[in-house]
Amino acid sequence: MNYLNLNDEKILPVVTELNVLLAEYHVYYQKLRNFHWNVLGKNFFDLHNTFEKMYNETKTKIDEIAERIVTLKYHPVSNFSSYLEVSKIKESSPLLTDKEMVTTLIKDHKIILEQLGKVIDRANKANDEGTADLIGAYIRDLEKNTWMLSAWSKDTKEVLDTSFVG
């Protein structure tokens, strides 16, 4: 019985991309834990707390993605070895500086945003509004976190685009 009223053939590409996204988020999650535990220096308190907030948000997303895959009647990938094989995000050394950690996360956000776009594309082609809605919220959250990390890493003398200032 197809209780979702979705075409099974069109859903398979959605599930495939969701499993890649699940892998990306798992490796990213562990990287956030790594950075949370190993950040040092003057920015310790800010980044320690920020990384913790980010990995807690990521943990929720991991569960939601896996549950969406199950909702679509498939099994989510669930082995870390598979995540490492599939993910474009790679593990990081615990010996990075605070600025290197932030730069690394911003690069990872680009990878995740690209994968989120692939999921949205497949979901739209399959008329899978549930997945598209879920992923749309993730894009917004990740863009905001990227902006915040980017702002943290800038020199205070840098300014935003002033073309709209009256």
Instruction: Copy the structure tokens of residue 165.
Output: 């200032």
Question: What would the CATH number be for the domain defined by 8-153?
Answer: 1.20.1260.10
Determine what percent of the chain is predicted with pLDDT higher than 90.
86
For residue 1, pLDDT over 60 is answered with no
For residue 3, pLDDT over 70 is answered with no
Distance CA 84, CA 24 (A): 8
What's this model's pTM, rounded to 2 decimal places? 0.92
Contact predicate 121/64, CB 8 Å: no
Over residues 34-87, the pLDDT tens digits come to 999 999 999 999 999 999 999 999 999 999 999 999 999 999 999 999 999 999
For residue 18, pLDDT over 50 is answered with yes
User: Radius of gyration (Cα) for the chain, nearest Å?
Assistant: 18
For residue 148, pLDDT over 60 is answered with yes
For residue 166, pLDDT over 70 is answered with no
